[in-house]
């Protein structure tokens, strides 16, 4: 499903950073934040230890805490919701769109109260959230946090990249992501001057240059060696995205006429980042078993929507019904799409999916 990239330039960048003995709080992290935020069209990026930490930091920057509500899709990775609970606020789960599987605007409108302080819009699998989400948030005085953990390089219109669409955006550089750093890593990003001024301090105990703490933070800094690797990966990102998009197009072409699977759609006027290529299938167990027999790796996303997980056993929405999320969660099967797939591997995946749709019992939506 993933094959992290590692080459001589990344190795040299890592070794040079280690040899410099400047392992923390140095020029690499600063440059990585500047370069990736410039790539995304934001004004500041602050590297940190993970995407989960970036989400926590985004909520702290927006001063969200006890008594506040934050709207989150339930069809996402659990960190999108738990960051809200970790700052003492209340996650309110909402359903996703039938076509694009991102947070649904009508569901947001229905769930909004006077306590709603933010929405976390997840660009799921690399598909950008509805562009209307920005104006909906502005009109309702609600902050828009982009969970861009899966969407490095996803683009809206000619140049509106993930990371520049919300008040704060959060990226993950986990090894399977579109851009990685040779370990754990994440980044907070903003286009707002007032938040930019506080972002670097937040990952450094909220301290100023004289080492006095002004707000609650912690040591959430990224190490210099991972930042140095991330900078080299960033130079490759557009080429890697091009390859992911090429493979997605091959899959669409090959699978378009196969009965019984719902293929991913691309929202109008956007470029998908294809972190995952997920299809809705009726019997994921038998479908993935056939892929497995054919030697093709796959994953099911997400076996349990967030609100149904044990951590939210006492949440008032634990047993709530969300028609779209309930219909597709655990039926989304992801097949390999990373940029290092060779042409013959792509053809093997296509062959295996074609066989799975013909022999797997009851495949179909």
Out of 42, 84, 145, 149, the residue judged to bind ligand PLP by CB under 6 A = 149
The answer to whether residues 331 and 298 touch, using CB atoms and an 8 Å cutoff, is: no
- Distances 70 to 64, 111, 344 between C-alpha atoms, Å: 9, 10, 45
- Site pattern 50..89 for ligand PLP (x: CB under 6 A): xxx-----------------------xx-xx---------
Using alpha carbons only, what angle is made at residue 59 by residues 44 and 99, rounded to the nearest 5 degrees? 90
Listed ranges 46-54, 61-69, 287-295, 354-362: which one lies at the site for ligand PLP (CB under 6 A): 46-54
For the CB of residue 330, give the shortest distance to ligand PLP in the complex, in Å: 16
Helix (H, G, I), strand (E, B) or coil at 65: coil
Counted residue by residue, the chain has a size of: 365
For the CB of residue 22, give the shortest distance to ligand PLP in the complex, in Å: 24
For the CB of residue 81, give the shortest distance to ligand PLP in the complex, in Å: 10
150 binds ligand PLP (CB under 6 A): yes
Q: Which is nearer to ligand PLP, 55 or 363 (CB)?
A: 55
Residues binding ligand PLP: what is the number (CB under 6 A)?
14
Taking residue 354's Cβ as centre, other Cβ atoms within 10 Å add up to 14
Q: Which is nearer to ligand PLP, 59 or 149 (CB)?
A: 149
147 binds ligand PLP (CB under 6 A): yes
SS (H, E, C) 271-293: ECCCCCEEEECCCHHHHHHHHHH
Name the strands in the sheet holding 155-156, side by side, starting at the edge strand that comes first in the sequence: 160-161, 155-156, 270-271
Taking residue 182's Cβ as centre, other Cβ atoms within 10 Å add up to 23
For the CB of residue 269, give the shortest distance to ligand PLP in the complex, in Å: 22
- Site pattern 172..211 for ligand PLP (x: CB under 6 A): x-x-----------x-------------------------
The answer to whether residues 220 and 200 touch, using CB atoms and an 8 Å cutoff, is: no
288 binds ligand PLP (CB under 6 A): no
Listed ranges 11-19, 99-107, 142-150, 196-204: which one lies at the site for ligand PLP (CB under 6 A): 142-150
For the CB of residue 170, give the shortest distance to ligand PLP in the complex, in Å: 7
Using alpha carbons only, what angle is made at residue 137 by residues 134 and 143, rounded to the nearest 5 degrees? 105
127 binds ligand PLP (CB under 6 A): no
| Complete DSSP assignment for 190-233 | ES-HHHHHHHHHHTBTTB-TTS-B-S---B-PPPHHHHHHHHHH
Distance CA 32, CA 36 (A): 6
260 binds ligand PLP (CB under 6 A): no
The answer to whether residues 319 and 326 touch, using CB atoms and an 8 Å cutoff, is: no
Tokens 């709080």 belong to which residue? 25
Q: Which is nearer to ligand PLP, 51 or 163 (CB)?
A: 51
Listed ranges 36-44, 48-56, 240-248, 298-306: which one lies at the site for ligand PLP (CB under 6 A): 48-56
For the CB of residue 52, give the shortest distance to ligand PLP in the complex, in Å: 3
Q: Which is nearer to ligand PLP, 73 or 160 (CB)?
A: 73
Q: Which is nearer to ligand PLP, 54 or 350 (CB)?
A: 54
Using CB under 6 A, list all residues that contact ligand PLP: 50-52, 76-77, 79-80, 122, 147, 149-150, 172, 174, 186
């Amino acid at each position: 499903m993933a094959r992290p990239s590692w080459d001589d330039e990344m190795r040299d960048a890592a070794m040079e950073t280690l040899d410099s003995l400047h392992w923390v709080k140095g020029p690499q992290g600063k440059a990585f934040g500047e370069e990736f935020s410039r790539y995304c069209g934001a004004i500041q990026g602050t590297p940190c230890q993970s995407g989960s930490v970036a989400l926590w930091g985004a909520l702290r920057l927006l001063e969200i805490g006890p008594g506040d509500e934050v709207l989150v899709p339930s069809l996402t990775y659990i960190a999108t919701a738990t960051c809200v609970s970790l700052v003492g606020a209340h996650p309110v789960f909402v359903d996703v769109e039938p076509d694009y599987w991102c947070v649904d605007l009508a569901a947001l409108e229905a769930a909004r109260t006077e306590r709603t302080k933010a929405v976390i819009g997840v660009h799921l699998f690399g598909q950008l959230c509805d562009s209307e989400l920005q104006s909906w948030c502005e009109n309702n005085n609600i902050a828009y946090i982009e969970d861009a953990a899966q969407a490095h390089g996803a683009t809206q219109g000619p140049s509106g990249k993930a990371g520049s669409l919300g008040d704060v955006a959060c990226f993950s550089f986990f090894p399977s992501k579109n851009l990685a750093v040779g370990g754990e890593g994440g980044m907070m990003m903003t286009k707002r001057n007032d938040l930019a001024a506080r972002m670097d301090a937040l990952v450094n105990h909220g301290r100023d240059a004289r080492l006095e703490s002004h707000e609650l933070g912690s040591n959430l800094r990224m190490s210099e060696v991972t930042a140095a690797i991330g900078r080299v990966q960033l130079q490759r990102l557009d080429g890697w995205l091009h390859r992911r998009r090429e493979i997605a197009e091959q899959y669409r072409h090959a699978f378009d006429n196969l009965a019984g699977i719902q293929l991913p759609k691309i929202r109008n006027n956007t470029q998908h980042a294809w972190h995952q290529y997920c299809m809705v299938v009726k019997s994921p167990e038998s479908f993935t078993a056939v892929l497995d027999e054919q030697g093709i790796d796959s994953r099911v996303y997400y076996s349990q929507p967030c609100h149904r997980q044990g951590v939210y056993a006492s949440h008032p929405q634990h047993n709530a019904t969300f028609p779209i999320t309930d219909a597709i969660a655990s039926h989304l099967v992801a097949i390999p799409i990373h940029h290092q797939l060779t042409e013959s591997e792509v053809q093997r995946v296509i062959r295996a999916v074609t066989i799975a749709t013909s022999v797997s019992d009851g495949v179909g939506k």
